[in-house]
C-alpha cells in the first residue's frame, strides 16, 4: 500500500522521469553514469503525512536541503495522505510490526514518540548526533526533554506548531462589518458567527474527513474554558472529566458546532482551511499548519488570526520530529537526513513554508513572517501545553478514545455520553499504567 503511494522526490527522480519520457530511445550517455552514481549513494525513504498544498512544499524544502549536501541519494517520498497522520500512523504501525521500517518517519515528540515507538523498541537513539551537532545548546531544554527517554534522545524536532490558532478572512469580516481584535472570547465569536450565519455564510469551517479537527476543536475549546493548569491535569489524569470545567467546555463545543459548514464530513482539513482563505467560511480553528496553506495560496495579506476563543496566553504544542528506526534500510543516509533536519539552514527553509516556528533558537528572526514573529513571542511568553489530538499529551490509547468520542459528539452533541466516554478512557488508562 505504501509503495503505490510513494513518489520519487529527488532530482534524480526528475532525471529519471526525463529519461523515460524523452531520452528513452537515445543513448543514456552521461545520464546513465549519473544514475549509476545515484544507485551507489543509495536511497532514503522518508515517511510522513505531509501531502497538502502547504505541507508538500515544506517537505520538499527539507528534501532540497538534504540533496544540496547529498546530491546522489535518491529520496523516496513515502507520504500517506490524511491530516494529523490519521492514515499514515496505521500504515506505519503495520510496517514496523512487519520489520519493514522506512529510513525515517515523522512523529510528534512527547507521549507519541515515547509510548508508540521508543518503548516498543522501534527507534535507535540519536544522542550522539545531539552531542556532535551541538543541538543541546540551541534547542529549548523542555523540547529536548520530550524527545528523550531514559537519558537518550530519539528524534530531532524540525518545527514547533501552535495548535490553537483561529484563522479568518479579513475581507469577509470587513464586508460583514465584523471587527476582530487581538484576542477573542467565546461571546465575541458567537456575535460574529450570528452575523455571518444571517448572511448565509458558515461561521466555522470544520473538516471531519480526517477526523482530527473534531478533537482539536474540543481541546482548544477545553483550554479556553478551563485554562492551562486544569487542561494539563485532565490529560495527565489528575483531574476528572466529569467535573464542571470539562462539562462547560463540552457545552461550548455544542454552541460552536451550531455554526459549522454542512459538508464537514466530506472535507479534509486543508479543504476547510481553503474555504476561509477563499472567503466561503468565516473562521477555522486549526494549528498553524493552516498558515502553510495561506502561504501556498499566496493569501498572507488577507488572512488574520487570533488564538482560539479564550486561549490567548497559551500555546498548544504540536512538535514535528523525525526518527532513526531500528533496522533502517539505509542507516547512514538516515543519520545524514537527521543531521540536516537539525541544521539552522534546513529549519530556516522549512518553517516559513510550514507555518511552524523552528525548534532551534538561533535562527534569523527577520526571515520569518509577521505570523511567525507572533508565534515566536507566544512560545517565549505563554503557557506551553501539549496537544492530545496530536499525540503529545496522553497515551496513544487515550488519544484514540478522544478521537472516537469527538467523532461521535460532532454528530450527536450528547454532552453526558461524551464526558462518560472520556471518563472511562481515563480510568482505563490509569489502570494500564498502574
Q: Which residue in the set 112, 124, 219, 320 belongs to the binding site for ligand GAL (CB under 6 A)? A: 320
Q: Which of residues 49-68 bind ligand GAL (CB under 6 A)?
A: 49-50, 55
Piece of the chain touching ligand GAL by CB under 6 A; list 82-90, 224-232, 245-253, 412-420: 82-90
**What is the SS3 assignment for 108?**
strand
Q: Which of residues 387-416 bind ligand GAL (CB under 6 A)?
A: 390
Residue 20 exposure: Cα atoms within 13 Å on the Cβ side: 6
Extract the C-alpha cell encoding 124. Answer: 535507535
Piece of the chain touching ligand GAL by CB under 6 A; list 79-87, 134-142, 176-184, 200-208: 79-87
Is the CB of 404 or the CB of 414 nearer to ligand GAL?
404
Q: Which residue in the set 289, 315, 350, 398 belongs to the binding site for ligand GAL (CB under 6 A)? A: 289
Cβ atoms 310, 225 nearer than 8 A:
yes
Q: Which of residues 240-269 bind ligand GAL (CB under 6 A)?
A: 269
**DSSP letters spanning 214-257:** HHHHHHHHHHHHHHHHHHHHHHHTSS-TTSHHHHHHHHHHHHHH
Query: What x-and-dash track marks residues 27-46 binding ligand GAL by CB under 6 A?
Result: --------------------
Is the CB of 166 or the CB of 241 nearer to ligand GAL?
166
Extract the C-alpha cell encoding 183. Answer: 484576542
Give me the least distance between CB of 161 and ligand GAL, in Å please.
5
Q: Which residue in the set 92, 190, 318, 376 belongs to the binding site for ligand GAL (CB under 6 A)? A: 318
Give me the least distance between CB of 402 and ligand GAL, in Å please.
14
Is the CB of 241 or the CB of 289 nearer to ligand GAL?
289
Is the CB of 218 or the CB of 241 nearer to ligand GAL?
218
Q: Which residue in the set 75, 76, 78, 84 belongs to the binding site for ligand GAL (CB under 6 A)? A: 84
Buried b or exposed e, range 93-132, using 16+ CB within 10 angstroms? eebbeeeebbbbbbbbbbbbbbbbbbeeebbbbbeebbee
Confirm or reject binding of residue 83 to ligand GAL (CB under 6 A).
Answer: yes
Is the CB of 172 or the CB of 205 nearer to ligand GAL?
205
The residue count for binding ligand GAL (CB under 6 A) is 13
Round to whole Å and give the CA distance between 299 and 291.
9
The closest residue (CB) to ligand GAL is 83
Confirm or reject binding of residue 288 to ligand GAL (CB under 6 A).
Answer: no
Look-up of cell digits 450570528 = 194
Cβ atoms 290, 355 nearer than 8 A:
yes
Q: Which of residues 353-392 bind ligand GAL (CB under 6 A)?
A: 390
Is the CB of 111 or the CB of 161 nearer to ligand GAL?
161
Is the CB of 62 or the CB of 318 nearer to ligand GAL?
318
Question: What does R_g of the chain's alpha carbons equal in angstroms?
Answer: 22
Is the CB of 207 or the CB of 405 nearer to ligand GAL?
207
Distance of CA 86 to the CA centre of its chain: 11
**Residue 36: exposed, middle, or buried by beta-carbon count in 10 A (0-12, 13-18, 19+)?**
exposed
Strand order in the sheet with 283-286: 283-286, 165-169, 303-307
Give me the least distance between CB of 215 and ligand GAL, in Å please.
11
Q: Which of residues 142-161 bind ligand GAL (CB under 6 A)?
A: 161
Is the CB of 165 or the CB of 224 nearer to ligand GAL?
165
Please name the residue ranges forming H helices in 42-80: 55-69
Cβ atoms 320, 346 nearer than 8 A:
no
Is the CB of 49 or the CB of 337 nearer to ligand GAL?
49
Give me the least distance between CB of 212 and ligand GAL, in Å please.
7
Piece of the chain touching ligand GAL by CB under 6 A; list 69-77, 81-89, 228-236, 409-417: 81-89
DSSP conformation class of 73? P
Query: What x-and-dash track marks residues 104-123 binding ligand GAL by CB under 6 A?
Result: ----x---------------
Give me the least distance between CB of 116 and ligand GAL, in Å please.
13
Q: Which of 141, 112, 121, 132 shows the shortest CA–CA distance to 322?
A: 112
**DSSP letters spanning 143-174:** HHHHTEETTEE-EEEEEEEES-EEEEEHHHHH
Give me the least distance between CB of 2 and ligand GAL, in Å please.
17
Q: Which residues contact residue 426 at a Cβ distance below 8 angstroms, ignoring those fewer than 6 apart?
A: 237, 240, 241, 398
Extract the C-alpha cell encoding 22. Answer: 524523452
The binding site for ligand GAL (CB under 6 A) comprises 49-50, 55, 83-85, 108, 161, 269, 289, 318, 320, 390
Amino acid at each position: 500500500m505504501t509503495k503505490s503511494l510513494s513518489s520519487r522526490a529527488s532530482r534524480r527522480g526528475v532525471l529519471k522521469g526525463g529519461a523515460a519520457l524523452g531520452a528513452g530511445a537515445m543513448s543514456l550517455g552521461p545520464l546513465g553514469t549519473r544514475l549509476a552514481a545515484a544507485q551507489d549513494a543509495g536511497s532514503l525513504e522518508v515517511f510522513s503525512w505531509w501531502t497538502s498544498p502547504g505541507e508538500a512544499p515544506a517537505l520538499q524544502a527539507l528534501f532540497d536541503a538534504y540533496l544540496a549536501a547529498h546530491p546522489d541519494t535518491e529520496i523516496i517520498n513515502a507520504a500517506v495522505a490524511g491530516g494529523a497522520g490519521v492514515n499514515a500512523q496505521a500504515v506505519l504501525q503495520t510496517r514496523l510490526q512487519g520489520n519493514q521500517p522506512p529510513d525515517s518517519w515523522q512523529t510528534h515528540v512527547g507521549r507519541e514518540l515515547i509510548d508508540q515507538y521508543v518503548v516498543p523498541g522501534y527507534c535507535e537513539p540519536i544522542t550522539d548526533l545531539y552531542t556532535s551537532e551541538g543541538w543541546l545548546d540551541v534547542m529549548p531544554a523542555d523540547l529536548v526533554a520530550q524527545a528523550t527517554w531514559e537519558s537518550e534522545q530519539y528524534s530531532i524536532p524540525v518545527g514547533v506548531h501552535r495548535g490553537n490558532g483561529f484563522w479568518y478572512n479579513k475581507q469577509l469580516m470587513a464586508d460583514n462589518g465584523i471587527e476582530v481584535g487581538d484576542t477573542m472570547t467565546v461571546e465575541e465569536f458567537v456575535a460574529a458567527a450570528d452575523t455571518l450565519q444571517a448572511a448565509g455564510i458558515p461561521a466555522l469551517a470544520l473538516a471531519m474527513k480526517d477526523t482530527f479537527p473534531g478533537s482539536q476543536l474540543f481541546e482548544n475549546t477545553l483550554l479556553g474554558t478551563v485554562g492551562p493548569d486544569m487542561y494539563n491535569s485532565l490529560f495527565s489524569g489528575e483531574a476528572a472529566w466529569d467535573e464542571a470545567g470539562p462539562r462547560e467546555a463540552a457545552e461550548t463545543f455544542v454552541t460552536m458546532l451550531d455554526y459549522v459548514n454542512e459538508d464537514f464530513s466530506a472535507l479534509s482539513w486543508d479543504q476547510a482551511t481553503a474555504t476561509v482563505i477563499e472567503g466561503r467560511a468565516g473562521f477555522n480553528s486549526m494549528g498553524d499548519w493552516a498558515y502553510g496553506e495561506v502561504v501556498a495560496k499566496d493569501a498572507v495579506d488577507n488572512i488574520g488570526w487570533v488564538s482560539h476563543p479564550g486561549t490567548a496566553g497559551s500555546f498548544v504544542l504540536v512538535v514535528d520530529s523525525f526518527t532513526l528506526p531500528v533496522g533502517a534500510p539505509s542507516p547512514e543516509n538516515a543519520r545524514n537526513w537527521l543531521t540536516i533536519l537539525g541544521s539552522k539552514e534546513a529549519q530556516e527553509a522549512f518553517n516559513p513554508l510550514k507555518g511552524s516556528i523552528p525548534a532551534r533558537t538561533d535562527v534569523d528572526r527577520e526571515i520569518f513572517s509577521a505570523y511567525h514573529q507572533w508565534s515566536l513571542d507566544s512560545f517565549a511568553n505563554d503557557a506551553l501545553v501539549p496537544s492530545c489530538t496530536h499525540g503529545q499529551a496522553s497515551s496513544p490509547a487515550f488519544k484514540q478514545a478522544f478521537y472516537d468520542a469527538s467523532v461521535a459528539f460532532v454528530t450527536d452533541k450528547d454532552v453526558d455520553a461524551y464526558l462518560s466516554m472520556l471518563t472511562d478512557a481515563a480510568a482505563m488508562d490509569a489502570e494500564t499504567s498502574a
